[in-house]
């Protein structure tokens, strides 16, 4: 007779198994590719949000310097804003336009 707590086990705790497990390893499903792509796109959007926020701040700083006739602050802020705009444009081009079909 088997005890009820041993019906789903091969051995008692601390005992060696009576027969080795020789079957194939358990099947693990690979991570879907769409999840990886959506993670990458989400990261791109996060970086874009940060870059656009900083770019807007730099643009406002450059316009304020222009209206206040502060040339020492105007050109570095304007160039920084242009650099962030170019970086953001490059990140936007990395985002796929259409989802790829699963082949």
pLDDT at 34: 73
Residue 100: inside a domain:
no
Residue 34: inside a domain:
no
Tally the domains of the chain: 1
Domain that holds residue 69: 48-95
Q: Is the pLDDT of residue 67 over 90?
A: yes
Residue 4: inside a domain:
no
pTM: 0.55
Q: How much of the chain is helix, strand and coil, in % rounded to 5?
A: 60, 0, 40
- Sorted by sequence, the CB contacts under 8 Å of residue 71 that are 6+ apart come out as 65
pLDDT at 68: 92
Residue 72: inside a domain:
yes
Residue 86: inside a domain:
yes
Q: Is the pLDDT of residue 41 over 90?
A: no
């Amino acid at each position: 007779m088997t005890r009820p707590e041993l019906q789903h086990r091969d051995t008692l705790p601390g005992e060696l198994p009576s027969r080795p497990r020789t079957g194939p390893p358990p099947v693990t499903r690979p991570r879907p590719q769409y999840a990886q792509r959506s993670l990458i796109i989400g990261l791109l959007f996060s970086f874009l949000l940060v870059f656009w926020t900083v770019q807007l701040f730099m643009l406002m700083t450059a316009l304020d310097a222009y209206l206040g006739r502060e040339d020492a602050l105007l050109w570095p802020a304007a160039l920084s804003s242009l650099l962030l705009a170019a970086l953001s444009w490059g990140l936007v081009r990395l985002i796929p336009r259409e989802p790829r079909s699963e082949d």
